[in-house]
Chains A and B, each alone.
Chain A
């Protein structure tokens, strides 16, 4: 994990805060690593949780069925939506509607195939493109019309939910038979979702850290006016990231439909979206704009899924889970803010 952010702490400005000098103690060194590597905290938490459940509930937790449940069914959807949310959070926006694109996309595929006689692939592609369109609309309302994205996506989320319930009469539908083969690769296969989540994580890690798009996303969130003065089209960046997030929402919706072998109007919604934002935040993405990490969101997704799955395996009631999540969000946010200050002070 060491090459992730490539931060050099030696550049200390006179404006920096008081830096406690002296030789670093082991504890100080650990704090130093935590301060420099945004992802370090969540990495340690993920490892500790996996070890805890792995050792304590060895046979059940480490079984292939359980691990694939944990990683493919629970973690992967969180991770994939979180990737989009990280990009949006970095450029200072959020998408509350991604989970409702999740809900509607498989229905759209089902309508096109079963009511309009479309072949499988075009229907799948149009279902994904629907995500692009919703993202464009979110971008239009937020960037062009100037609404706060919290409100924009709250509105579009409700509209999408209503659209799903109206068109489906709130009844689940069967997976169109023609998509079952494709679905095995994209979602229904035991490891498909998790493998795709890993591939997307790697791709978007590169996009964020090694491409202009990523750089401009950070610039847009870090200093929007400055970015515009440098000639960066910040509006276009935001449009693009809204479109990315909605499309990932649509993808996860299709995958989940294949995995659960049903198209369910109660799937998706706010929960996967809020889990995704939670994963992003405990992974080290501050909602302050300009900062965020894809690897952190991936690990955050693993942490959430391990807790959800682990407590289940342990036979502990899932009721207190939300208390844990809430506390985790608050603690990691406090850590983010504090560590950011340490970083700013150039402490090593």
Chain B
């Protein structure tokens, strides 16, 4: 990344889905934290019912991009279109109301609260200003059953659940809030094969149901290719790669990353 690349007005050319079917378009998003350039002119689109894998090195800006799309923090510049309409979100609430929900890396679960209170967090049902616990409990159970998540009891405190169960609760929470676009920030991080398989299964089920379009941040190329329709690669705050899964391979993705390491190594050697 020695030379400043010329910003391209259009998304990188590639065998991508047609613009009409896009539920989400992100155009020319940049984000600075003081002197640090976290994102530079990022263009990204997400088709209806599509699962997009967002890959990239640590610090490439993946989480920042996700947090901008879901309204947790504002972009320095750029536009977001949801179903063709330009949207600006001042808060997570606004984004959620519009149909964009995010499962953060830390899951945003409250250990001290029950499963169903977590699932309804910030959109609780109330009756005469008191929490309608019974109704929430029933619905939470139905929703978890429907998307096939197995939890011993919706009454359990979240602290008592395993990592995979917690992740599943967080995903279920987002899905059942009627999200059109679901953003998953490393849903498989720090998870064993068995638990990870449970989450991949859940994403596949959601894909089959076709109600929700998903952007997933991932690290494992094998898993990404298994569950995603399309892969975008984020490098140094820019999207540098956009291909359908059927047109790429673990080998190709690996090569890109190895190339990046090689270049970083060369730069270090030149510097010294």
Instruction: Check if A231 sits within 8 Å of B91, measured CB to CB.
Output: yes
Binds B, one of A106-114, A125-133, A222-230, A320-328: A222-230
Q: Specify the chain A residue showing the minimal Cβ separation from B127.
A: A210
Q: Specify the chain A residue showing the minimal Cβ separation from B166.
A: A13
B258 at the interface (CB under 8 A from A): no
Instruction: Check if B112 sits within 8 Å of A13, measured CB to CB.
Output: no
Please, how many angstroms separate the alpha-carbon atoms of A211 and B124 in the complex? 9
Of A8, A218, A226, A232, which is within 8 A of B109 by CB? Answer: A226
Instruction: Check if A11 sits within 8 Å of B112, measured CB to CB.
Output: no
Interface string of A208-219 (1 = CB under 8 A from B): 001110011011
Instruction: Check if A223 sits within 8 Å of B160, measured CB to CB.
Output: no
A291 at the interface (CB under 8 A from B): yes
Q: Which residues of B contact A222 (CB under 8 A)?
A: 110-113
Please, how many angstroms separate the alpha-carbon atoms of A344 and B111 in the complex? 11
A236 at the interface (CB under 8 A from B): no
Instruction: Check if B122 sits within 8 Å of A232, measured CB to CB.
Output: yes
Instruction: Check if A229 sits within 8 Å of B160, measured CB to CB.
Output: no
* Residues in chain B within 8 A of chain A (CB atoms): 72, 91-93, 96, 102, 104, 106-113, 117, 121-122, 124, 126, 129-131, 133, 151-153, 155-157, 159-163, 165
Please, how many angstroms separate the alpha-carbon atoms of A228 and B106 in the complex? 12
Of A10, A11, A219, A227, which is within 8 A of B161 by CB? Answer: A11
Q: Give how many A residues have a beta carbon under 8 Å from the other chain's beta carbons.
A: 33
Instruction: Check if A231 sits within 8 Å of B110, measured CB to CB.
Output: no
Of A11, A14, A223, A290, which is within 8 A of B156 by CB? Answer: A11
* Residues in chain A within 8 A of chain B (CB atoms): 6-8, 10-16, 206, 210-212, 215-216, 218-219, 221-223, 225-232, 290-291, 344, 346
Q: Which residues of B contact A16 (CB under 8 A)?
A: 160
Q: Specify the chain A residue showing the minimal Cβ separation from B152.
A: A11
Instruction: Check if A206 sits within 8 Å of B130, measured CB to CB.
Output: yes
Asked if A218 meets B160 with Cβ closer than 8 Å, knowing A10-B153, A226-B107, A232-B122, the reply is: no
Of A13, A227, A228, which is within 8 A of B160 by CB? Answer: A13
A306 to chain B, nearest CB (A): 30
Instruction: Check if A291 sits within 8 Å of B160, measured CB to CB.
Output: no
Q: Specify the chain B residue showing the minimal Cβ separation from A291.
A: B112
Asked if A12 meets B160 with Cβ closer than 8 Å, knowing A230-B121, A231-B93, the reply is: yes
Please, how many angstroms separate the alpha-carbon atoms of A8 and B137 in the complex? 14
Please, how many angstroms separate the alpha-carbon atoms of A211 and B128 in the complex? 10
Instruction: Check if B131 sits within 8 Å of A7, measured CB to CB.
Output: no
Q: Which residues of B contact A290 (CB under 8 A)?
A: 110-112
Please, how many angstroms separate the alpha-carbon atoms of A346 and B153 in the complex? 13
Asked if A229 meets B72 with Cβ closer than 8 Å, knowing A211-B130, A215-B117, the reply is: yes
Q: Which residues of B contact A216 (CB under 8 A)?
A: 122
A38 to chain B, nearest CB (A): 12
Please, how many angstroms separate the alpha-carbon atoms of A90 and B271 in the complex? 52
Instruction: Check if B160 sits within 8 Å of A11, measured CB to CB.
Output: yes
Asked if A218 meets B130 with Cβ closer than 8 Å, knowing A13-B162, A226-B108, A231-B92, the reply is: no
Instruction: Check if A229 sits within 8 Å of B92, measured CB to CB.
Output: yes
Instruction: Check if B92 sits within 8 Å of A230, measured CB to CB.
Output: yes
Instruction: Check if B124 sits within 8 Å of A212, measured CB to CB.
Output: yes
Q: Which residues of A contact B113 (CB under 8 A)?
A: 215, 218-219, 222
B102 to chain A, nearest CB (A): 7
Please, how many angstroms separate the alpha-carbon atoms of A344 and B93 in the complex? 32
Please, how many angstroms separate the alpha-carbon atoms of A232 and B123 in the complex? 10
Q: Specify the chain B residue showing the minimal Cβ separation from A15.
A: B162
Instruction: Check if B162 sits within 8 Å of A14, measured CB to CB.
Output: yes
Please, how many angstroms separate the alpha-carbon atoms of A221 and B112 in the complex? 9
Please, how many angstroms separate the alpha-carbon atoms of A122 and B152 in the complex? 55
Q: Specify the chain B residue showing the minimal Cβ separation from A292.
A: B112
Instruction: Check if B108 sits within 8 Å of A229, measured CB to CB.
Output: yes
Please, how many angstroms separate the alpha-carbon atoms of A215 and B124 in the complex? 10
Complex A-B: 19 CB contacts under 8 Å: A7-B155, A7-B157, A8-B156, A10-B153, A11-B152, A11-B160, A12-B152, A13-B162, A210-B131, A210-B133, A211-B126, A212-B124, A223-B109, A226-B104, A226-B107, A229-B108, A230-B92, A231-B91, A290-B112
Instruction: Check if B161 sits within 8 Å of A225, measured CB to CB.
Output: no
Supply 9 further A-B pairs (C-beta < 8 A) apart from A13-B161, A218-B110: A13-B162, A210-B130, A210-B133, A223-B108, A229-B92, A229-B102, A230-B92, A344-B160, A346-B160
Q: Specify the chain B residue showing the minimal Cβ separation from A229.
A: B108
